[in-house]
Amino acid sequence: MTQLTVKDHNRNAAGLTYIYPVISRRSGGLSIGINFNTNNACNWRCVYCQVPNLSLGAAPELDFALLEAELRFFLQDVLHGDFYDRFNMEPELRVIKDIAISGNGEPTSVKGFAKAIELIIRVTKQAKIPDPFQYVLITNGSLIHQADVQEGLTLFNKHNGQVWFKLDSATEAGRDLINHCALSLQKHTENLLISARLCSTWVQTCLLQFKSGQGLINATEQEAYLALLQQVSQQVTLQGVMLYSLARESLQPEANMIASVTEQQLNDFAQRIGQLGLTVKASL
C-alpha cells in the first residue's frame, strides 16, 4: 500500500498528468499539487531542487481540457472516494489544506497563466471543498512583472489565495551560488513588491549550508537578507517568512556539496527575522 509522506512529492503518485497529492510539512495536511511544468523545465536551477533531469526553459503548452478533467476527477476521489484509504493516510491528515500551484519548474512561465488560475478556482469552487483551505502559488517570483501573471495574481487575491515567493539570498553572489538565476536582485525585489501589492505574499527561504562554508548561515548573507526584508516591509505588508531547510535529497550536481542546517541555526535565524516584526514559520 502506498503511503504519502513529507519526504515523497512524487508527481506521478496519482497517475495523472497535472495533479498530484503531497503531505505538505508547511501546510500540515493534504496539499493538492498542480504541475504545469510537465517537461521538468525551469528558468532557475536551485542547488537543492529535487526535480529529476531538470532543464532550462518554460512550461509547455497547457492542455486546459485535460487539466480541468483531472482536477474534477481528483477532487471527487478525495472528497467522496477512497483516496485516503488507498494512500493509507492518518486520520488527522484527512483534510485538504491547500490547492498548490507548484510542480517541476516555475509555474508562472506557462502560457495562459491567468486563464489557468480562473479554471482552477472555478472547478474547485464547484467541488465544494470544506473550509478552511487555501489556494497557494509557489513561485520564484521571476515573472511577476508580466501582465498575464499579474492578472492571475489579482484573481487569486479575490479568492484569498497566497503567493509563496522564493528568496534564498539577498546578495548577487548568494543568488548565483544557490539559484543560478539571471534575474538581478533589484528586479527580484521589485517583483516581490508587486506580488505583495497584488496578493497576500509570504517569503519562502531555504536555509542551507555549503560544505565549503558558504550559504545563508554566513553572517554577511544574513545581514543582507534582514536588510532587504526590512526595506520591503517598509513599503508593503508581507504575511511573513517561511523558513525551512533540506527535507528531501537534491537531484542537482551540487547535491553532495550542500547540507541542512541544524535546528538551532534555523531557530536562531528565525528569531532574528521575528525581531523585524514579521511572522516566521520555521521547519526543518
Per-residue model confidence (pLDDT) at position 29: 82
pLDDT in tens, 212-255: 655 556 889 999 999 999 999 999 999 999 999 987 889 999 98
Q: Which CATH number fits domain 19-204: 3.20.20.70, 3.40.30.10, 3.90.1150.10, 3.40.1640.10?
A: 3.20.20.70
Average pLDDT score over residue span 59-65: 98
Neighbours of 142 (CB within 10 A): 22
Task: State the Cα angle at 133 between 130 and 135, rounded to 5°.
Answer: 130
pTM, entire model: 0.92
Quote the CA–CA distance of 78 and 80 in Å, as a whole number: 6
Contact partners, residue 95, CB within 8 Å, separation at least 6: 29, 30, 130, 133
Residue with cell 537534491: 250
pLDDT for 12 beyond 60? no
- pLDDT per position as a tens digit, 132-150: 899 999 999 999 999 999 9
Give me the sign of the Cα torsion angle 276, 207, 35, 114: positive
